[in-house]
Structure 1
Protein backbone atom coordinates (compact mmCIF):
# COMPACT_ATOMS: atom_id res chain seq x y z
CA UNK A 1 0.00 0.00 0.00
CA UNK A 2 1.40 3.37 -0.93
CA UNK A 3 1.05 6.30 1.50
CA UNK A 4 -1.61 8.90 0.87
CA UNK A 5 -0.85 12.59 1.30
CA UNK A 6 -3.99 14.23 2.67
CA UNK A 7 -3.97 18.01 2.19
CA UNK A 8 -7.67 18.50 2.85
CA UNK A 9 -8.81 16.12 5.54
CA UNK A 10 -12.50 15.72 6.23
CA UNK A 11 -13.81 16.35 9.72
CA UNK A 12 -14.21 12.60 10.25
CA UNK A 13 -10.62 11.95 9.11
CA UNK A 14 -9.31 14.58 11.52
CA UNK A 15 -11.31 12.97 14.34
CA UNK A 16 -10.10 9.49 13.41
CA UNK A 17 -6.43 10.47 13.19
CA UNK A 18 -6.61 12.50 16.41
CA UNK A 19 -8.05 9.48 18.22
CA UNK A 20 -5.42 7.19 16.71
CA UNK A 21 -2.62 9.46 17.92
CA UNK A 22 -4.24 9.88 21.35
CA UNK A 23 -4.52 6.12 21.79
CA UNK A 24 -0.97 5.49 20.59
CA UNK A 25 0.55 8.13 22.87
CA UNK A 26 -1.63 7.56 25.94
CA UNK A 27 1.17 5.73 27.76
CA UNK A 28 4.05 7.71 26.22
CA UNK A 29 6.38 9.20 28.84
CA UNK A 30 5.95 12.67 27.35
CA UNK A 31 2.15 12.75 27.57
CA UNK A 32 2.25 11.14 31.03
CA UNK A 33 4.53 13.95 32.18
CA UNK A 34 2.30 16.57 30.59
CA UNK A 35 -0.99 15.12 31.94
CA UNK A 36 -0.23 12.79 34.87
CA UNK A 37 -3.84 11.78 35.61
CA UNK A 38 -4.73 8.82 33.41
CA UNK A 39 -8.45 9.57 33.12
CA UNK A 40 -7.84 13.21 32.31
CA UNK A 41 -5.16 12.24 29.79
CA UNK A 42 -7.70 10.08 27.97
CA UNK A 43 -10.10 13.03 27.84
CA UNK A 44 -7.61 15.68 26.74
CA UNK A 45 -5.29 13.93 24.28
CA UNK A 46 -7.74 13.74 21.33
CA UNK A 47 -8.16 17.52 21.41
CA UNK A 48 -4.43 18.01 21.85
CA UNK A 49 -3.66 15.88 18.81
CA UNK A 50 -6.46 17.50 16.80
CA UNK A 51 -4.46 20.74 16.93
CA UNK A 52 -1.41 18.94 15.52
CA UNK A 53 -3.40 17.14 12.82
CA UNK A 54 -5.06 20.37 11.68
CA UNK A 55 -1.75 22.25 11.77
CA UNK A 56 0.03 19.63 9.67
CA UNK A 57 -2.92 19.35 7.28
CA UNK A 58 -2.77 23.11 6.68
CA UNK A 59 0.73 22.54 5.25
CA UNK A 60 -0.17 19.33 3.37
CA UNK A 61 1.81 17.55 6.08
CA UNK A 62 -0.29 14.48 6.85
CA UNK A 63 0.70 11.08 5.48
CA UNK A 64 -1.57 8.11 6.09
CA UNK A 65 -1.92 4.57 4.94
CA UNK A 66 -4.99 4.13 2.71
CA UNK A 67 -6.86 2.33 5.51
CA UNK A 68 -6.03 5.08 8.04
CA UNK A 69 -4.26 2.64 10.38
CA UNK A 70 -1.04 4.67 10.42
CA UNK A 71 -0.29 8.37 10.28
CA UNK A 72 2.78 10.59 10.09
CA UNK A 73 2.55 14.33 10.82
CA UNK A 74 5.15 16.81 9.62
CA UNK A 75 5.82 20.40 8.64
CA UNK A 76 7.65 21.18 5.39
CA UNK A 77 10.71 23.42 5.07
CA UNK A 78 9.83 27.06 5.59
CA UNK A 79 6.60 26.44 7.50
CA UNK A 80 5.94 29.26 9.95
CA UNK A 81 2.88 28.49 12.08
CA UNK A 82 1.08 31.31 13.91
CA UNK A 83 2.51 30.72 17.39
CA UNK A 84 -0.09 32.89 19.16
CA UNK A 85 -2.98 31.05 17.49
CA UNK A 86 -1.40 27.70 18.31
CA UNK A 87 -0.94 28.68 21.94
CA UNK A 88 -4.62 29.62 22.14
CA UNK A 89 -5.66 26.32 20.54
CA UNK A 90 -3.52 24.30 22.95
CA UNK A 91 -4.84 26.32 25.90
CA UNK A 92 -8.38 25.42 24.82
CA UNK A 93 -7.44 21.75 24.38
CA UNK A 94 -5.38 21.29 27.54
CA UNK A 95 -6.57 23.88 30.07
CA UNK A 96 -4.18 24.05 33.01
CA UNK A 97 -1.90 21.47 31.37
CA UNK A 98 -1.03 23.92 28.60
CA UNK A 99 1.79 25.25 30.79
CA UNK A 100 3.50 21.85 30.69
CA UNK A 101 3.25 21.88 26.90
CA UNK A 102 4.73 25.39 26.82
CA UNK A 103 7.72 24.08 28.78
CA UNK A 104 8.18 21.26 26.28
CA UNK A 105 7.84 23.62 23.32
CA UNK A 106 10.35 26.09 24.80
CA UNK A 107 12.95 23.35 25.32
CA UNK A 108 12.32 21.99 21.82
CA UNK A 109 12.73 25.45 20.28
CA UNK A 110 16.06 25.93 22.03
CA UNK A 111 17.43 22.82 20.33
CA UNK A 112 15.64 22.93 16.98
CA UNK A 113 18.10 23.27 14.07
CA UNK A 114 17.64 26.60 12.30
CA UNK A 115 20.31 26.38 9.62
CA UNK A 116 19.63 23.95 6.78
CA UNK A 117 16.08 23.60 5.40
CA UNK A 118 14.35 20.44 6.59
CA UNK A 119 11.11 18.57 7.14
CA UNK A 120 10.10 18.53 10.80
CA UNK A 121 8.35 15.29 11.76
CA UNK A 122 6.20 15.79 14.86
CA UNK A 123 4.29 12.53 15.41
CA UNK A 124 3.74 9.09 13.97
CA UNK A 125 1.29 6.44 15.12
CA UNK A 126 -0.02 2.99 14.19
CA UNK A 127 -3.31 1.43 15.28
CA UNK A 128 -3.01 -1.20 18.02
CA UNK A 129 -2.61 -4.64 16.47
CA UNK A 130 -0.90 -3.28 13.36
CA UNK A 131 2.45 -2.36 14.93
CA UNK A 132 5.62 -4.06 13.76
CA UNK A 133 4.19 -4.32 10.26
CA UNK A 134 6.36 -1.65 8.67
CA UNK A 135 3.56 0.90 8.30
CA UNK A 136 5.45 3.80 9.91
CA UNK A 137 8.63 2.84 8.07
CA UNK A 138 6.67 3.00 4.81
CA UNK A 139 5.25 6.45 5.57
CA UNK A 140 8.62 7.71 6.75
CA UNK A 141 10.30 6.29 3.65
CA UNK A 142 7.83 8.11 1.42
CA UNK A 143 8.52 11.42 3.14
CA UNK A 144 12.29 10.92 3.05
CA UNK A 145 12.19 10.11 -0.67
CA UNK A 146 10.50 13.47 -1.13
CA UNK A 147 13.07 15.22 1.10
CA UNK A 148 15.94 13.62 -0.80
CA UNK A 149 14.47 14.69 -4.15
CA UNK A 150 14.29 18.26 -2.82
CA UNK A 151 17.78 18.08 -1.32
CA UNK A 152 16.65 18.90 2.21
CA UNK A 153 17.13 17.23 5.58
CA UNK A 154 14.68 15.83 8.10
CA UNK A 155 14.47 16.39 11.84
CA UNK A 156 12.46 14.86 14.67
CA UNK A 157 12.57 14.25 18.39
CA UNK A 158 12.11 10.66 19.51
CA UNK A 159 10.17 10.25 22.75
CA UNK A 160 10.43 6.46 22.98
CA UNK A 161 12.92 3.69 22.18
CA UNK A 162 10.59 2.52 19.40
CA UNK A 163 10.51 5.98 17.84
CA UNK A 164 14.26 6.24 17.98
CA UNK A 165 14.68 2.78 16.44
CA UNK A 166 12.34 3.66 13.56
CA UNK A 167 14.24 6.84 12.77
CA UNK A 168 17.63 5.12 13.02
CA UNK A 169 16.46 2.48 10.52
CA UNK A 170 15.57 5.36 8.20
CA UNK A 171 19.06 6.85 8.45
CA UNK A 172 18.65 9.40 11.24
CA UNK A 173 21.43 10.03 13.76
CA UNK A 174 21.41 11.73 17.13
CA UNK A 175 21.78 15.49 16.99
CA UNK A 176 23.49 16.58 20.20
CA UNK A 177 22.34 15.65 23.67
CA UNK A 178 18.88 14.78 24.90
CA UNK A 179 16.23 17.34 25.78
CA UNK A 180 15.46 16.63 29.44
CA UNK A 181 12.15 17.76 30.90
CA UNK A 182 12.16 19.26 34.41
CA UNK A 183 11.57 17.35 37.63
CA UNK A 184 13.22 14.11 36.52
CA UNK A 185 10.90 14.14 33.55
CA UNK A 186 11.36 12.10 30.37
CA UNK A 187 13.76 12.99 27.60
CA UNK A 188 13.34 13.75 23.93
CA UNK A 189 16.13 12.64 21.64
CA UNK A 190 16.82 15.04 18.72
CA UNK A 191 17.40 13.10 15.49
CA UNK A 192 18.65 14.42 12.14
CA UNK A 193 18.96 12.97 8.64
CA UNK A 194 20.91 14.62 5.83
CA UNK A 195 19.48 14.40 2.30
CA UNK A 196 20.82 11.59 0.12
Structure 2
Protein backbone atom coordinates (compact mmCIF):
# COMPACT_ATOMS: atom_id res chain seq x y z
CA UNK A 1 0.00 0.00 0.00
CA UNK A 2 1.46 3.35 -1.06
CA UNK A 3 0.23 6.92 -1.03
CA UNK A 4 3.00 8.22 -3.29
CA UNK A 5 1.57 10.07 -6.31
CA UNK A 6 2.16 8.34 -9.62
CA UNK A 7 1.07 9.47 -13.09
CA UNK A 8 -1.87 7.42 -14.31
CA UNK A 9 -1.81 5.77 -17.71
CA UNK A 10 -4.64 5.29 -20.17
CA UNK A 11 -4.80 1.66 -19.05
CA UNK A 12 -6.15 2.96 -15.72
CA UNK A 13 -8.88 5.06 -17.32
CA UNK A 14 -11.86 2.76 -16.84
CA UNK A 15 -10.96 2.02 -13.22
CA UNK A 16 -10.42 5.70 -12.41
CA UNK A 17 -13.60 6.74 -14.24
CA UNK A 18 -15.53 4.25 -12.10
CA UNK A 19 -13.84 5.63 -8.96
CA UNK A 20 -14.84 9.19 -9.87
CA UNK A 21 -18.36 8.11 -10.83
CA UNK A 22 -18.87 6.43 -7.47
CA UNK A 23 -17.53 9.40 -5.54
CA UNK A 24 -19.73 11.88 -7.38
CA UNK A 25 -22.87 9.76 -7.64
CA UNK A 26 -24.66 11.80 -4.96
CA UNK A 27 -22.78 15.07 -5.44
CA UNK A 28 -25.10 18.09 -5.77
CA UNK A 29 -23.45 19.05 -9.06
CA UNK A 30 -24.00 15.72 -10.82
CA UNK A 31 -27.50 15.44 -9.34
CA UNK A 32 -28.29 18.81 -10.92
CA UNK A 33 -26.95 17.66 -14.30
CA UNK A 34 -28.72 14.27 -14.22
CA UNK A 35 -31.50 14.21 -11.60
CA UNK A 36 -32.53 10.58 -12.13
CA UNK A 37 -30.31 8.44 -9.87
CA UNK A 38 -30.36 5.29 -12.01
CA UNK A 39 -29.57 7.21 -15.17
CA UNK A 40 -26.84 9.13 -13.34
CA UNK A 41 -25.18 5.88 -12.26
CA UNK A 42 -25.18 4.74 -15.91
CA UNK A 43 -23.78 7.92 -17.46
CA UNK A 44 -21.20 9.07 -14.93
CA UNK A 45 -18.41 6.63 -15.90
CA UNK A 46 -18.58 7.89 -19.49
CA UNK A 47 -18.88 11.47 -18.29
CA UNK A 48 -15.68 11.17 -16.27
CA UNK A 49 -13.94 9.29 -19.08
CA UNK A 50 -14.18 12.48 -21.16
CA UNK A 51 -12.61 14.52 -18.34
CA UNK A 52 -9.92 11.87 -17.88
CA UNK A 53 -9.04 11.93 -21.57
CA UNK A 54 -8.79 15.70 -21.48
CA UNK A 55 -6.45 15.63 -18.47
CA UNK A 56 -4.41 12.74 -19.90
CA UNK A 57 -3.61 14.94 -22.90
CA UNK A 58 -1.71 17.24 -20.52
CA UNK A 59 -0.22 14.64 -18.19
CA UNK A 60 -2.76 15.80 -15.64
CA UNK A 61 -3.97 12.57 -14.02
CA UNK A 62 -2.42 11.56 -10.70
CA UNK A 63 -3.21 8.47 -8.68
CA UNK A 64 -1.53 6.23 -6.09
CA UNK A 65 -0.03 2.80 -6.67
CA UNK A 66 -3.20 1.07 -5.48
CA UNK A 67 -5.51 3.27 -7.60
CA UNK A 68 -7.41 4.24 -4.46
CA UNK A 69 -7.39 7.95 -5.29
CA UNK A 70 -7.32 10.13 -8.38
CA UNK A 71 -6.84 13.83 -9.07
CA UNK A 72 -7.43 15.52 -12.42
CA UNK A 73 -5.77 18.80 -13.31
CA UNK A 74 -4.65 20.94 -16.23
CA UNK A 75 -1.28 22.73 -16.30
CA UNK A 76 -0.85 26.34 -17.46
CA UNK A 77 -2.37 26.65 -20.92
CA UNK A 78 -4.50 23.55 -20.45
CA UNK A 79 -7.72 25.44 -19.77
CA UNK A 80 -7.25 27.48 -22.93
CA UNK A 81 -6.51 24.30 -24.87
CA UNK A 82 -9.70 22.71 -23.57
CA UNK A 83 -11.72 25.79 -24.52
CA UNK A 84 -10.30 25.59 -28.06
CA UNK A 85 -11.63 22.00 -28.26
CA UNK A 86 -15.10 23.13 -27.20
CA UNK A 87 -17.05 21.73 -30.15
CA UNK A 88 -15.34 18.34 -29.93
CA UNK A 89 -15.87 18.07 -26.17
CA UNK A 90 -19.47 19.24 -26.49
CA UNK A 91 -20.06 16.40 -28.95
CA UNK A 92 -18.49 13.83 -26.65
CA UNK A 93 -20.47 15.00 -23.63
CA UNK A 94 -23.62 15.08 -25.74
CA UNK A 95 -23.09 11.45 -26.73
CA UNK A 96 -22.74 10.48 -23.05
CA UNK A 97 -25.36 12.71 -21.43
CA UNK A 98 -28.00 13.03 -24.12
CA UNK A 99 -30.69 15.46 -23.00
CA UNK A 100 -28.71 16.32 -19.87
CA UNK A 101 -25.87 17.83 -21.91
CA UNK A 102 -27.60 21.22 -21.80
CA UNK A 103 -27.23 21.35 -18.02
CA UNK A 104 -23.49 20.67 -18.32
CA UNK A 105 -23.21 23.39 -20.97
CA UNK A 106 -24.85 25.84 -18.56
CA UNK A 107 -22.30 24.97 -15.87
CA UNK A 108 -19.46 25.27 -18.35
CA UNK A 109 -20.54 28.74 -19.44
CA UNK A 110 -20.79 29.95 -15.84
CA UNK A 111 -17.37 28.49 -15.06
CA UNK A 112 -15.78 30.06 -18.13
CA UNK A 113 -17.13 33.49 -17.18
CA UNK A 114 -15.39 33.27 -13.80
CA UNK A 115 -12.21 31.39 -14.74
CA UNK A 116 -9.05 33.43 -14.01
CA UNK A 117 -7.79 35.01 -17.23
CA UNK A 118 -4.32 36.29 -17.95
CA UNK A 119 -2.81 34.50 -14.94
CA UNK A 120 -0.85 31.29 -15.68
CA UNK A 121 -2.11 28.60 -13.33
CA UNK A 122 -2.75 24.95 -12.65
CA UNK A 123 -6.45 24.09 -12.68
CA UNK A 124 -7.60 21.24 -10.41
CA UNK A 125 -10.91 19.89 -11.72
CA UNK A 126 -11.91 16.62 -9.99
CA UNK A 127 -10.62 14.37 -7.24
CA UNK A 128 -11.88 11.21 -5.57
CA UNK A 129 -10.82 8.67 -2.94
CA UNK A 130 -12.18 5.14 -2.61
CA UNK A 131 -14.35 4.91 0.54
CA UNK A 132 -12.21 2.13 2.03
CA UNK A 133 -9.09 4.31 1.68
CA UNK A 134 -10.40 7.55 3.16
CA UNK A 135 -8.69 9.28 6.10
CA UNK A 136 -5.26 8.16 4.92
CA UNK A 137 -4.30 11.53 3.46
CA UNK A 138 -4.34 10.33 -0.14
CA UNK A 139 -6.12 13.36 -1.57
CA UNK A 140 -3.93 15.74 0.40
CA UNK A 141 -0.84 14.01 -1.00
CA UNK A 142 -2.06 14.28 -4.60
CA UNK A 143 -3.11 17.90 -4.19
CA UNK A 144 0.20 18.77 -2.51
CA UNK A 145 2.00 17.35 -5.54
CA UNK A 146 0.12 19.65 -7.93
CA UNK A 147 0.62 22.66 -5.67
CA UNK A 148 4.35 21.92 -5.48
CA UNK A 149 4.52 21.87 -9.28
CA UNK A 150 2.71 25.20 -9.41
CA UNK A 151 5.07 26.68 -6.82
CA UNK A 152 8.10 25.47 -8.78
CA UNK A 153 6.68 27.10 -11.91
CA UNK A 154 5.91 30.31 -10.01
CA UNK A 155 2.23 30.25 -10.88
CA UNK A 156 -1.05 29.95 -9.02
CA UNK A 157 -3.46 27.08 -8.59
CA UNK A 158 -7.22 27.33 -9.17
CA UNK A 159 -10.06 25.03 -8.16
CA UNK A 160 -13.83 25.14 -7.79
CA UNK A 161 -15.03 23.35 -4.67
CA UNK A 162 -18.42 21.66 -4.99
CA UNK A 163 -18.48 20.27 -1.44
CA UNK A 164 -17.38 21.29 2.06
CA UNK A 165 -14.80 18.49 1.98
CA UNK A 166 -13.30 19.78 -1.25
CA UNK A 167 -13.15 23.29 0.10
CA UNK A 168 -11.51 22.10 3.32
CA UNK A 169 -8.85 20.20 1.35
CA UNK A 170 -8.06 23.36 -0.60
CA UNK A 171 -7.97 25.61 2.46
CA UNK A 172 -5.52 23.32 4.23
CA UNK A 173 -3.06 24.03 1.44
CA UNK A 174 -3.55 27.78 1.48
CA UNK A 175 -6.29 28.27 -1.09
CA UNK A 176 -8.55 31.26 -0.51
CA UNK A 177 -11.96 32.15 -1.82
CA UNK A 178 -11.85 33.94 -5.18
CA UNK A 179 -14.90 36.16 -5.50
CA UNK A 180 -18.48 35.08 -5.08
CA UNK A 181 -19.78 31.54 -5.50
CA UNK A 182 -20.89 30.32 -8.91
CA UNK A 183 -24.58 29.65 -8.33
CA UNK A 184 -26.40 27.37 -10.76
CA UNK A 185 -29.89 28.45 -11.87
CA UNK A 186 -33.25 27.02 -10.86
CA UNK A 187 -32.23 26.47 -7.26
CA UNK A 188 -29.11 24.56 -8.25
CA UNK A 189 -26.01 24.06 -6.11
CA UNK A 190 -22.98 26.32 -5.91
CA UNK A 191 -19.33 26.07 -6.81
CA UNK A 192 -16.80 27.98 -4.74
CA UNK A 193 -13.88 29.38 -6.76
CA UNK A 194 -10.60 28.96 -4.84
CA UNK A 195 -7.16 30.40 -5.64
CA UNK A 196 -3.69 29.78 -4.22
CA UNK A 197 -0.78 32.06 -5.03
CA UNK A 198 2.59 30.48 -5.71
CA UNK A 199 4.92 30.30 -2.71
TM-score normalised per structure 2: 0.95
Q: What is the 5 A alignment of 1:23-172?
A: 23-79=22-78, 80-81=81-82, 82-172=85-175
Number of residue-to-residue matches in the alignment: 193
How far does residue 63 in structure 1 lie from its aligned partner after superposition? 0.5
Aligned equivalent of 1:5, options 7, 14, 31: 7
**Structure 1 residue 116, shift from structure 2 partner:** 1.1
How far did 1:130 drift?
Answer: 1.4
Shift of residue 34, structure 1, vs aligned partner? 0.6
Provide, for residues 86-141 of structure 1, a one-character-per-residue CA deviation record: whole Å limited to 9, x for no partner. Answer: 10110011010000000000000010001210001100000112122210000000
For 1:171 and 1:97, the matched residues in 2 are separated by 35
Q: Distance in 2 between matches of 1:143 and 1:74?
A: 8
Tell me the alpha carbon deviations over residues 1-50 of structure 1, each in whole angstroms, 9 at most, x when there is no partner.
320023x421xx11000000000000100001110000000001000000
Distance 1:78 1:54 in 2: 16
Give 5+ residue unaligned stretches, structure 2.
none
Superposition RMSD in Å: 0.8
> Which segments of structure 1 move beyond 3 Å, counting only runs of 4 or more?
none
Q: Secondary structure at the match of 1:129?
A: helix
TM (normalized to structure 1)? 0.97
